[in-house]
Amino acid sequence: MNTCEFCRLSDEVSRALADNRPVVALESTIIAHGMPYPQNIETALQVEQAVRDQGAVPATIAVLGGKPIVGLTAEEIDYLGRRGRQVSKVSRRDLPLIVAARADGATTVAGTMIIAALAGIPVFATGGIGGVHRGGEKTFDISADLTELARTSVAVVCAGAKSVLDLPLTLEYLETQGVPVIGYQTDELPAFYTRSSGLNLGCRAETPEQLAEIIACKWRLGLSGGIVIANPVPEQYSLDPDLINRAIDSALAEAAAAGVAGKELTPFLLARIKDITAGQSLTANIQLVLNNARLAARVSAALADLDGRK
C-alpha cells in the first residue's frame, strides 16, 4: 500500500523526510491514557519542543477519523488530551478496526512503531515500553510492544519497561525475540522511575553516534526488527526504589481487588502510583519522557548523517 495514501503526513514531517533531516516519532497513548489533564497536553507539547531544541522534527502519531496521522497539530494534541480515555488505545490488533470504523485512536508503542515504519521514520521516543506483566508466566499477559519490537524496524528510546511489570521476564522475552537492548551510559536496565533494576544488559553505548552505528549495522545485515535504547531517568528525578516498590505493590493489590485487567491495567496502576507518591511519579514520568526525546533527536541526527555519507 502506498504510504502517502494510507497516512497523512504533516508538511513539516514530509519535507524533513524528503531532505533526509532527523525526525522523531512520538506516541499518543501517553496523551490520552498515560497522564492526567492538563499535564498530558502540556507534556506532549514540551516533548515536541525538546525534539526541536535538538534540531529534529517531532512527529506525534495518532489515528483521527480513521486516518493514521504522522505529525499532529497542536489543536489535534489538545483534542486527544481533552478526550482522554474516551479515545481507544490502538496497538497492532486494533489498527485495522479503528481505521475501518473511521474512529479516533491513541497509538501505543506497537501502534506508533507500525505507523512510523510506514512513514519511513526509524527513531521513536517514548516513556517506557510494555512488557511481561507480573504473573505473566501463568496468565501469558504480555504486551504487544514486545512482539512488535521483534518484527518492526524502529529504534525505541525509553526508560526501560514500566516498573509495574516483571522486568526480568521482559528482558528474557526480548532476548528470545532477538531484540537488542542497549544501555545508554549504563550497564543496567533502567526501571522507569528509578535508574537501576539490578539487571545487567551486557551492551552499552556512550554516544548517540555509537547508537546510530549499532542501529545501522543491524538493519544493513538484513536483521529486521527493532532495538531498545534504554535511557535512565535523570538522576535528580529518580525515585527511591523502596518508595516506588511499595506504591506498585499497593496499586497492584487495588487493581486485583477491583478486577482491573487488560488494557485498563497499566493506566489504572500509573494513576494510583501517582496518588500514592503524592505526584512524585508523575514528575519523574514527565522528565524521563523529555530526556528520551532529547536523546532520540540526537540519535536520529546521527542516523541521518550516516545515511548522508553512504
> Among all residues, which ones are annotated catalytic?
27, 162
Residues 6+ apart with CB under 8 A from 89: 29, 32, 33, 105, 106, 108, 111, 263
Residues 6+ apart with CB under 8 A from 191: 160, 163, 167, 197, 241
Q: Is the dihedral of CA 171, 174, 175, 176 positive or negative?
A: positive
- Chain centre distance of CA 154: 11
Residues 6+ apart with CB under 8 A from 131: 142, 143, 145, 146, 161, 162, 165, 166, 167, 169, 170, 173
Q: Which three cell numbers stand for residue 247?
A: 506504591
